[in-house]
Structure formats: structure tokens, C-alpha cells
Amino acid sequence: MTTTPELYEMQEYGELGVVPKSMHAWVIKKNRFGEPLQALKQDVVPTPVIDDNQVLVRVMAVGVNYNTVWAGLGQPISVFTLHDKDYHITGSDASGIVWQVGKNVKNCKVGDEVIVTCFKQCMEHGNGGLNNPNFVSFDPMSSVNHAIMGYETPDGSNAQFVAAQAQQILPKPKHLSWEDAASYVLTYFTAYRMLMTQAEIKSGELVLIWGGAGGLGSYAIQLCREAGADCIAVVSSDEKGEFCKKLGALGYINRKEFKGYEVTDAEFNHYETMANNDRRHQMMKAIGKRIWEICGQKRSPDVVFEHSGRETFATSIFLAARFGRIVICGATTGYDLSFDVRHLWMHQKRILGSHYANFLDCRQANTLITKGKVEVINSRTYSYRDLPQAHDDLYNNKIIGNASVLVMPGDIRGLKTREEIEARFLNASKESSLPA
Ligand SMILES: NC(=O)c1ccc[n+]([C@@H]2O[C@H](COP(=O)([O-])OP(=O)(O)OC[C@H]3O[C@@H](n4cnc5c(N)ncnc54)[C@H](OP(=O)(O)O)[C@@H]3O)[C@@H](O)[C@H]2O)c1
């Protein structure tokens, strides 16, 4: 009979299906908010215990995401107001091997190679909200108690094991390494919902994409290409602009050349200055003209892809076409927004909120990766010990596209299957457990 091990070392494979009592994880604590290098520390914590509808995954790699940055900063809220644990494991996506399944789980089995998404469905209203008195739609995201793993819940994926609901599990695309498979899950699925489900982009439309070379933006460009829509990327360097063109953007706008369109904190706090800012108006118009130059005709964006927030939102509202849509999922530069609402009502534009993705969005998006229609942009893979550095680089806008962190494979890149992991680590852990 196998006894329950206390802990597996990082590269110790152990035995498939045998769960140790504790695990290594990157955690934040209440008294340690700050930038990633300060907030994130390695710790040993209890391994999650799954229920009948859940799956335990042995994590091979994770994505590098803003959820971890915000959780560490304690901004805009402390994650400790969202749960009652005294530590918080960060991480909202992963690739890995199914290690244990609850008895009701039908979509995967022990040993499967999978990716883990972060939308934890409300089990009470998980049918899409039908039992919910505030019923909005059949979308499970309309339910009241759903949560984003690793931000709204304390049991994120930046650890040796992660517990997920069965519906959070999708097959890992076979052609991808563990690190590539972990790199896209949060950002790409978010971009998919924003453009495909919420904004419903159509062939022939024009989309303006802020941060075109970023985590969300690099997938937004590819989704426009797939949908037959034209897109223009906004970036902060020509190098990033050329990268966006290679992904399929019609052209790019280097935002550094249009200084003055931004809503700064100082102006935000003095609305009069902001409302009367002719210079901003001139700069927003100049960006609009640049769009016409790129298009070769007077054309305004049918959709604006937003996540930068306060600094850019007034410009997004101004630039969108009549009846255009501004779809927004985040606010890197500030979540209190200020803009001239006349541009919205006079031209009947619509603002659409969007948040991560439901199971259907994730599945449809993942199929495009599996079929090779969307290319994974994993520009840098960090080793496990450098997870805080990876998030510091994200926070300081140093990552093009997306990045990932290897968990079990340590520094060994390019492994793709369970067999490859076992060949590399199973015997190594057996040898290291032999008596000296
Ligand atoms: N609600 C959700 O489900 C969800 C999911 C994922 C992400 N988000 C949020 O979306 C935001 C972006 O995430 P990400 O992973 O794409 O980050 P990212 O990889 O850092 O990309 C963001 C891009 O925004 C651009 N940017 C940075 N500062 C800017 C500014 N002041 N003005 C205009 N553009 C600026 C940068 O490009 P340039 O410097 O080249 O312009 C950067 O590449 C974050 O706030 C994140 O929390 C929300």
C-alpha cells in the first residue's frame, strides 16, 4: 500500500495519482503587498483536496499574467477581502497532467495532458443562471457566485498542484510544449470573448487594438485576421509595430508620437482642465487622421479593443465610428474613467464590458489553436525560481506577446507529453529515493 508522501520536491515526479500532503507554491500574504519581487514568496502549503466534481492537476507550466500583479499589489482591492485564507496562491492558468479526478468527472482521466482555465462556475447557478432570481442569460457568467481562480479564489495555479472544476479543464494542444500551452490560456481566451462573443466582430470591420503587441493584443490581432476584419494596433515602439504587422495588422500607431491624447491623473482630478483641453482634442484627431492614412480612406474603427483604461478611454470613445463598439476588460492605467459623453450619445456608440471567458468561449478559442489557425506567442519562458521576475517584467511592460514559467520541468524547455516528463523525471526521482 502506498503511504501518503509529505511533499514532492520540485522535480520529483513521485507516483502518478499519489498526492502529497503539502506542495510548493508562490504565495502572497496580507502583510506583504507590493510589486512582484516583494510580494511573491515561495512557501509550502497544504495540497488542495478535490471534491466529486473537481480535478487535481500536476502543474507543468503557468502563464505570466496581470492577475498575479494586481493580487500582489493589493490593488485595486486586497484579495484577502475575497476569501478567508491567510495566504493566497496566485496564478490563473496552467498546463499539466491530470493527477486525480472526482467521481462525477467525465471529461478527463488520470494521466491526461490538459490546460486549466480560470473561470470557476457557480455550482448553484451553474446551468447558466436559470435558478438565479437575477437571471440575465444562459451564459454561466451571469450567475452570481462565479469566481476567477487565483484572484477571487486563494487556490491559484502558481504551485505544484492546482484543483479545478471539471469544466475548467481542456485538452492540451498536442503540438505545443508545456510552456507554450500554459502561456496563452488567460489572455487569449479573454481576447476571444471580447471580440467574438461581446463585440461580435464581422468580416470587413475595422478594429483598433490598444497594446497590440501585448498579451491580449497579440491574440486580438490574430482573431481579427481569422474573422476577416481589418485591424490597426496601437503600440509604444516601431519594433512592436512591426511585430503587429507580421501578426496581421494593417498598420500601427506609435502612441509616443501623439503625446497629449492621454487623460493624466492630474487632469482627472481637475475636470475643468480636462474638459477644455484643446490639445487633447487635436491629438485625438491626429490619431484619427493616422488611421485614415493607414486605411487609405476616411474610415473609423467599428470596434475599439480596450484594457488600458483611464489614459486611453476618452480617445477610444472619440475614435470609434458611429454605432461603433468599445469593448473593455481591464484598466491598467486606472479604473475611474473620464470622457466626453457627447461623442457617445450623438454617434450612438456602445461600451461593452467583458471579463475572461465562459467554457464555450474557451473551448471554441482552444480549437483555433489546436487547428493551427491562431499561433501561440510565447516570447519568453522563465524557470520556476524566476516567477516573480517574470511578473515584474510584465508589470514594467518588458514582455512582447506572452510569457510562461516552467514549474515541474525546471529549466528544461520543449517537453510536450506525459511520457517525456516521465522519461526525464520518473527514474530520476526513483534513483534519488534509493537508500544511500
Ligand atoms: N478582465 C479580464 O478577464 C482580463 C484578462 C486579462 C487581462 N486583463 C487586464 O488587461 C490589461 C492588459 O493585460 P495584458 O496581459 O494584455 O498586459 P500586457 O501584456 O502588459 O499588454 C498590455 C499592453 O498595453 C500597452 N500599454 C501599457 N501602458 C499603456 C498606456 N499607458 N497607454 C496605452 N497602452 C499601454 C502596452 O503596449 P505598448 O507599450 O506597446 O503600447 C502593453 O503591451 C491588464 O490590466 C489586465 O489586468 C483583464
Strand-pair category, 119-120 with 147-148 = antiparallel
C-alpha span between 160 and 120 (Å, rounded): 19
Q: Give the integer Cα–Cα distance in Å for 278 and 118.
A: 43
Residue 2 has pLDDT above 90, yes or no: no
pLDDT band of residue 430 (cuts 50, 70, 90) is low
Give CATH superfamily name and number for 189-353. NAD(P)-binding Rossmann-like Domain (3.40.50.720)
Q: Summarize pLDDT for 274-325 with one digit per residue, the tens.
A: 666 788 899 999 999 999 999 999 999 999 999 999 999 999 999 999 999 9
Q: What is the pLDDT of residues 3-15, one digit of tens each?
A: 899 999 999 999 9
Cα of 214 vs centre of ligand 1, distance in Å, is 6
How close is the Cα of 216 to the center of ligand 1, in Å? Answer: 7
Average pLDDT over every residue of 73-92: 95
Which of 332, 337, 377, 395 maximizes ligand 1 atoms within 8 Å of its Cβ, making it the mutation to test the pocket? 332
Residue 17 has pLDDT above 90, yes or no: yes
Which residues surround ligand 1 with Cβ inside 6 Å?
A: 66, 186-187, 190, 210-211, 213-217, 234-236, 240, 255, 307-308, 311-312, 329-330, 332-333, 355-356, 394, 397, 399
Q: Write down the pLDDT at residue 279.
A: 85
For position 314, what pLDDT does the model report? 96
Average model confidence (pLDDT) across the chain = 93
Cα 332 to ligand 1 centre (Å)? 6
Whether the link from the prior residue into 5 is cis, omega within 30° of 0, is: no
Query: What's the CA gap between 291 and 301, in Å, rounded?
Result: 8
- pLDDT of 259: 93
Q: Where residue 333 falls among pLDDT bands split at 50, 70, 90?
A: very high
Q: What pLDDT is attached to residue 55?
A: 97
Tell me the CA–centroid distance for residue 419 and ligand 1, in Å: 36
pLDDT given at position 434: 47
Ligand 1 binding pocket mutation candidate from 62, 65, 66, 75 (most atoms within 8 A of CB): 66
CB 405 within 8 A of CB 387: yes
Rg of the Cα atoms in the chain: 22
- What is the reported pLDDT for 435? 47
User: Pick from 140, 129, 164: which is nearest to 51 by CA?
Assistant: 164
Statement: residue 153 has pLDDT above 50? yes
What pLDDT does 432 receive? 54
- Of the options 3.30.300.30, 3.40.50.2000, 2.40.170.20, 3.90.180.10, the CATH number for the domain spanning 22-184+377-432: 3.90.180.10
Q: Which of 258 and 136 is assigned the larger pLDDT?
A: 258
Look at residue 81 and tell me whether its pLDDT is greater than 60.
Answer: yes
Ligand 1 pocket mutation, candidates 64, 152, 237, 307, criterion most atoms within 8 A of CB: 307
The predicted-structure confidence for 129-152, as pLDDT tens digits, reads as follows 455 555 556 788 877 788 999 999
Probe target for ligand 1 pocket from 397, 400, 402, with the most ligand atoms within 8 Å of CB: 397
Residue ranges per structural domain of the chain? 22-184+377-432, 189-353
Instruction: Indicate if 189-353 has the same CATH topology as 22-184+377-432.
Output: no
> pTM, whole model, 2 decimals?
0.95
Place of cell 484643446: 278
Report the separation in Å between the CA atom of 398 and the middle of ligand 1, taken as the mean of its atom positions: 11
Please report the pLDDT score of residue 436 as a whole number.
39
